[in-house]
Amino acid sequence: MAVKAAAMWFEPNADKRVGVDTDAARLVTASALARAIMRKIKATRWSEVLESGVPEPIHLTAAQIRLLDEHGSVLAYLGPKSKILACPECGRWMIAAGTMPKKCSSSLDCAAELIKMVDFKLAKVPPDLDL
């Protein structure tokens, strides 16, 4: 008789969660969740996750599914080492691998501090958060 794996969910690390609810912060949170899923199933592109689906025992909340759907066009650019950064001032986003810039350089008149990707971790119970 096979033992069924316990259900698991993803939740952001509390000490690293983006504390503002802007479009930029939602994009960064979506990309962090997508990367956590990609790491768990060993996918190298977000399209692989979309093709195969999220396998059992991983579950996503309705809010997490909405968040991923909302930003699917940007998540398509995620790779195994890339991270998405977003500017809360001008709303532009960028993909970086390696050293992450601290300030926005998307335009000459914007030098706001970028919102960096948070980390997600596995949880044994559904997360109590509204993304």
d(CA 70, CA 73) in angstroms, rounded, equals: 8
95 closest CA partner among 67, 116, 111:
116
Model confidence at 14: pLDDT above 80: no
Q: Find out whether the peptide bond into 57 is cis, omega within 30 degrees of 0.
A: yes
The pLDDT tens digits of the residues spanning 78-110 come to 888 888 888 888 888 888 887 878 888 877 788
Give the type of residue at 25: A
The pLDDT assigned to 26 comes to 87
- Average per-residue pLDDT for the chain: 79
Task: Please give the residue that has the higher pLDDT: either 39 or 4.
Answer: 39
For the entire predicted model, the pTM comes to 0.80
pLDDT of residue 3: 40
Above 90 in pLDDT, residue 69?
yes
Q: What angle do CA 71, 33, 120 make, to 5 degrees?
A: 155
Instruction: Read off the amino acid at residue 118.
Output: V
